[in-house]
Every structure is written in C-alpha cells, then in structure tokens.
C-alpha cells in the first residue's frame, strides 16, 4: 500500500483544497492530512475562521481523506513521515523546494495550485464586502437621521 501525506490549515474549505486533496490521494492508496491546530496557527500569526475540530470533521467527510492528524509544529514532518510509513509527501507548488529535505525519507511532490481561488482571497473578498456593508449602513443611518 502506498501512503501519501499532506499538510495545511484547510480553513474555509474550497475547490482548490478539494482538488489538491483528490490529486494527492490519486498518488497512493491512503491519504493522511496533517492539519494545523488552532494553537499552531496562533504561533504562525494566523487565525482560522473554523475551529480545528470542525475543520477535522469536514476533512474526514471527504472520501479522498483517510486520516486527519494535528500539526503542532514546523519540526514534526520527519517524525510524521516515519511514524506513518509515508511514501509520498505532497504540497502545493507555492511551497516548491521548501520540503526537499524530506526526499531522504520519502518522495516529495509539489502539485499545481488551483488558479483564482485561495483562502486568503476569500478572506480579502469578505473584508471588502463588510467594508461596503458598513459604509452603506452608515449612509443609510445618516439618511434616516436627516429625514427625522
């Protein structure tokens, strides 16, 4: 059996996440997803919209995902590969070269990202929408106050 592993936060699950996970799973017979915990995200200066437990539940519902385990530190990758008897380590190509040190333990594959979608873009779009709503709400309140 060929085992594959990948890492991520998987916040606001979208098409790009699903396609990456499906392509990773196609490389082997078993896919382990190592997902950043809320505490590790905090160390990285990030905050996920969805809790680790909820993100885990969502990932486990995908047919291409066989196992979800926590990512607590940058340093755990070698141990994860060894302890889970991993054959292939997969990441998006925006990380190209960053994990080549794992070639000593398994094959490292960088898959192309899905164009036009990312969690960062979704969050930016939501912030812009909120800004527009706040501006329109303020204008409406001013208009109402002017009429009365």
53-76 burial, b for 16+ CB within 10 Å, e for fewer? Answer: eebbebbeebebbbebeebeeeeb
CA distances from 43 to 40, 46, 136 (A): 5, 7, 36
Name the β-bridge partners of 88. 4, 107
Q: What is the pLDDT of residue 111?
A: 95
Above 70 in pLDDT, residue 147?
Answer: no
Above 70 in pLDDT, residue 87?
Answer: yes
25-50 pLDDT, tens per residue? 999 999 999 999 999 999 999 889 89
Q: What is the pLDDT of residue 148?
A: 67
Q: What is the pLDDT of residue 51?
A: 95
User: Strand 67-71 to strand 88-92: parallel, antiparallel, or no bridges (unpaired)?
Assistant: unpaired
Catalytically active residues, by annotation: 44, 46
What phi and psi values does residue 9 have, to the nearest 5 degrees? -90, -35
Above 80 in pLDDT, residue 120?
Answer: no
Banded pLDDT at 142 (limits 50, 70, 90): confident
On average, the pLDDT of the chain sits at: 91
89-117 pLDDT, tens per residue? 999 999 999 999 999 999 999 999 887 77
């Amino acid at each position: 059996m060929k085992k594959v592993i990948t890492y991520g936060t998987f916040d606001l699950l979208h098409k790009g996440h699903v396609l990456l996970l499906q392509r990773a799973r196609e490389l082997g017979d078993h896919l382990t997803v190592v997902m950043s915990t809320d505490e590790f995200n905090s160390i990285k200066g990030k905050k996920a919209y969805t809790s680790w437990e909820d993100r885990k539940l969502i990932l486990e519902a995908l047919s291409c995902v066989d196992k979800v385990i926590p990512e607590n530190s940058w340093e755990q990758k070698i141990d994860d590969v060894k302890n889970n008897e991993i054959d292939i380590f997969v990441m998006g190509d925006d990380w190209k070269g960053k994990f080549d040190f794992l070639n000593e333990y398994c094959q490292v594959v960088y898959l192309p990202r899905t164009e036009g979608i990312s969690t960062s873009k979704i969050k930016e779009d939501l912030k812009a929408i909120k800004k527009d709503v706040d501006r329109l709400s303020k204008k409406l309140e001013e208009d109402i106050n002017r009429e009365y």
